[in-house]
Amino acid sequence: MAEGKEFQIPKVKLGNQGLEEDGISVIKHAFSKGITFFDTADAYGPYSNEILIGKALKQLPREKIQIATKFGFVATEFPRMQVNGSPEYVRSCCEASLKRLDVQYIDLYYQHVGELKKLVEEGKVKYIGLSEPSPDTIRRAHAVHPITALQMEFSLWARDIEEEIIPLCRELGIGIVPYSPLGRGFFAGKGVVENLAANSVLEIYPRFQGENLDKNKTIYSRIESLARKNQCTPAQLALQWNPQGEIWLDVFLILIPYIRSVVLGVIRGILLRLSIPNSGIRPWTL
């Protein structure tokens, strides 16, 4: 495990967005492979994903599992989103998530965007995290109550956090939980690149639109060629990427000291099987 000040986060965390009826078997399989940290949010479904996690927990030892969930997005018609961070909404979201998960406490509670501190004091939340905050927000929040972790997109395709967020986290001692290490599925395989489903959630991102997508397909071809040379898949190569050539840890994922965990999204166990084994591919840098 990678260690924070008090909270230990496993190096690999299972992202559960998109899991359906077979999700319980995927979660149980992940646990059998040593994954004990499960990520969800009230907006996934909405609500149904937390219920699914709660059902899976009934078949697993709660004391050996850590749960991270998020709040802040108000359910509206996709793709429009509203954000609410008022104290009243914070509390109502936490109480509702506890009920759906059917647990007494949440290990790590992220806010998508003073009440969180009270929830920690009441024992309903153990640690506080923020999802995709700005540097100013991080400083303001950390001054009110210590922030344990940030959830940020970080991959070959998204390196913005290297400029300000990572140095700030080093300064304040905050962990980072990167999500979408496969570039929101872009590096998962040519099928994703060439055949975006109609009305796919990915279509809201400029990188998957028009000329941007055409140019990014060229990038994928370069990664695909490099993967062939290493006798692996583009996805495995993307996961093996070492951002700054720092210390390589003993998991088939890139982790550097200030990065606590990597969230892996799993659809019917495909990426889970892809990501857990150590392929022996050497870490690499750009």
H or E element in which residue 116 lies: helix 115-121
Q: Is residue 218 part of a domain?
A: no
Q: Is residue 35 part of a domain?
A: yes
Rounded percentage of the chain residues whose pLDDT exceeds 90:
19
* Mean pLDDT value across residues 147-162: 86
Q: CATH code at 190?
A: 3.20.20.100
Q: pTM for the complete prediction? A: 0.68
pLDDT at 38 over 50: yes
Of the listed ranges 9-13, 42-46, 166-170, the least confidently predicted one is 9-13
Q: Is residue 207 part of a domain?
A: no
Predicted local distance difference test score (pLDDT) of residue 102:
96
CB neighbour list of residue 128: distance below 8 Å, 6 or more residues apart:
108, 109, 111, 116, 117, 120, 141, 145, 146, 147, 148
Burial category of 3 from C-beta neighbours within 10 Å (exposed 0-12, middle 13-18, buried 19 and up) = exposed
Predicted local distance difference test score (pLDDT) of residue 225:
92
pLDDT at 59 over 80: yes
Predicted local distance difference test score (pLDDT) of residue 244:
45
Residue range(s) defining the domain that contains residue 266: 2-195+239-275
Give me the number of domains the chain comprises: 1
Predicted local distance difference test score (pLDDT) of residue 136:
95
Q: Is residue 225 part of a domain?
A: no
Q: CA–CA separation, 16 vs 38, rounded Å? A: 7
Q: Is residue 247 part of a domain?
A: yes
Note the residue count of the chain.
286
Q: Is residue 39 part of a domain?
A: yes
CB neighbour list of residue 24: distance below 8 Å, 6 or more residues apart:
52, 55, 56, 59
CB 160 within 8 Å of CB 147: no
* pLDDT tens track for 95-104: 999 999 999 9
Q: Is residue 8 part of a domain?
A: yes
Q: Is residue 202 part of a domain?
A: no
Predicted local distance difference test score (pLDDT) of residue 105:
96
* pLDDT tens track for 162-210: 899 988 988 898 888 888 888 887 888 776 667 666 556 677 778 778 8
Give the sheet arrangement for strand 37-39, strand by strand: 175-179, 149-153, 125-131, 106-111, 66-71, 37-39, 12-15, 262-265
Please provide the average confidence, as pLDDT, over all residues in the chain. 76
110 catalytic? Reply is no
Residue with more model confidence, 171 or 77: 171
Predicted local distance difference test score (pLDDT) of residue 32:
87
Rounded percentage of the chain residues whose pLDDT exceeds 70:
70
Residue with more model confidence, 285 or 199: 199
**Selected catalytic residue, list 44, 109, 110, 220:** 44
